[in-house]
Chains A and B, each alone.
Chain A
Amino acid sequence: MSLTAKDKKIVKAFFGKVGGQAADIGNDALSRMIVVYPQTKTYFSHWKDLSPGSADVRRHGLTVLTGLLEAVDKIDDLVGGLLNLSELHAFTLRVDPANFKTLSHCILVVLAGMFPAEFTPEVHVAVDKFLAKVALALSEKYR
Chain B
Amino acid sequence: MVEWTAEERSIISEIFSKLDYDDVGPKCLSRCLIVYPWTQRYFGGFGNLYNAEAILSNPMIAAHGITVLHGLDRALNNMDDIKNTYTQLSELHSEKLHVDPTNFTLLADCLTIVIAAKMGTNFTPDMQAAWQKFLSVVVSALGRQYH
Residue ranges of A at the interface with B (Cβ–Cβ < 8 Å): 31-32, 34-36, 52, 105, 108-110, 112-114, 116, 119-122, 124-125, 128
What separation, in Å, do the CA atoms of A11 and B15 have in the docked complex?
A: 31
Whether B40 is near chain A, meaning CB under 8 Å from some CB there, is no
Flag if B30 contacts A116 (CB, 8 Å).
no
Flag if B125 contacts A113 (CB, 8 Å).
no
- Give the top 4 A-B pairs by smallest Cβ distance, nearest first: A35-B125, A116-B117, A121-B34, A112-B117
Whether B60 is near chain A, meaning CB under 8 Å from some CB there, is no
List of B residues within 8 angstroms of A31 by Cβ: 125
Flag if A36 contacts B35 (CB, 8 Å).
no
Number of interface residues of B (CB under 8 A): 23
Interface of B is mostly: helix
What separation, in Å, do the CA atoms of A119 and B112 have in the docked complex?
A: 14
Flag if A121 contacts B31 (CB, 8 Å).
yes
Flag if A35 contacts B128 (CB, 8 Å).
yes
Residue ranges of B at the interface with A (Cβ–Cβ < 8 Å): 30-31, 34-35, 52, 55-56, 109, 112-114, 116-121, 123, 125-126, 128-129, 132
- Could you show 20 A-B contacts with beta carbons less than 8 Å apart? A32-B125, A32-B128, A35-B126, A35-B128, A35-B129, A36-B128, A36-B132, A52-B125, A108-B113, A110-B116, A112-B117, A113-B117, A113-B119, A113-B120, A113-B123, A116-B120, A121-B31, A122-B52, A124-B113, A128-B35
List of B residues within 8 angstroms of A34 by Cβ: 125
User: What would 11 more interface pairs be, CB under 8 Å, given A52-B125, A121-B30, A128-B35?
Assistant: A32-B125, A35-B129, A36-B128, A36-B132, A108-B109, A109-B113, A109-B128, A113-B117, A113-B119, A121-B35, A124-B35
Residue from B30, B113, B114 whose CB has the most chain A CB atoms within 10 Å? B113
